Amino acid sequence: EQPEAAGMGGRALCWLLCLLQAGRAGGAELTFQLPDSARQCFHEPLQRGLKFTLDFQVITGGHYDVDCYVEDPNGKTLYKEAKKQYDSFSHRAEVAGIYTFCFSNEFSTFSHKTVYFDFQVGDEPPILPDMNHRVTALTQMESACVTIHQALNTVIDSQTHYRLREAQDRIRAEELNNHVSYWSVGETILVLVVSISQVMLLKSFFTETRATTGAVST
């Protein structure tokens, strides 16, 4: 029984390692700067029938909005939205070729944006092969591993969301800190100017009094 248990434990460990190493569907994540009056495009070759998903979010700049559109290899517009802060688009490629997705800030003349996008390609492969044998302790462990894998994917999505929120809040806090600093410097300069003006005004009063007194004595 001990060798069998050890074999089951080894197989379970292999399954767990495979689950931990297995990634989600292929693709790319990127955070980039989008200057004012500019447009940035990305290109991805896809096979026919392959599913892709585009998630994007504006992290900083202006009203936190950009224009976004997706085109297929024939130039057909699959998705187009204007002044969106965040959105998600999924589509299954109908033709093979290079698909293009672009982010535009051309409507803004003075504020640049920071944009994050996650482009996922393909369906996630099944974690475990189909097994029709009876339920055993190993199968229960495999089911637990699948649950862990799904939970880890949820954690990854949550961490991405919270990282974006943290970046937004941090940048807003830095902007507020800069505004407060500028206001404090301006207020300090104003107080100094008023103080110096009051001192000069009071000094002028006493100077005129001394001059008048001297003239009467003469």
pLDDT surpasses 70 at 24 = no
How do the domains of the chain map onto residue ranges? 2-170
Q: How much is the pTM? A: 0.61
**Could you tell me which of 10, 11, 16 has the C-alpha nearest to residue 127?**
16
pLDDT in tens, 46-87: 999 999 999 999 988 888 899 999 999 999 999 999 999 889
Residues 92-129 pLDDT 10s: 999 999 999 999 999 988 888 999 999 989 876 666 66
CATH node for 2-170? 2.60.120.380
- The rounded distance, in Å, linking the Cα atoms of 123 and 50 is 8
Q: How far apart are CA 60 and CA 181, in angstroms?
A: 20
Q: What is the pLDDT of residues 142-156, one digit of tens each?
A: 777 778 877 887 887
**Average pLDDT for the chain:** 78
Of the candidates 65, 69, 46, 47, the residue with the CA atom closest to the CA atom of residue 57 = 65
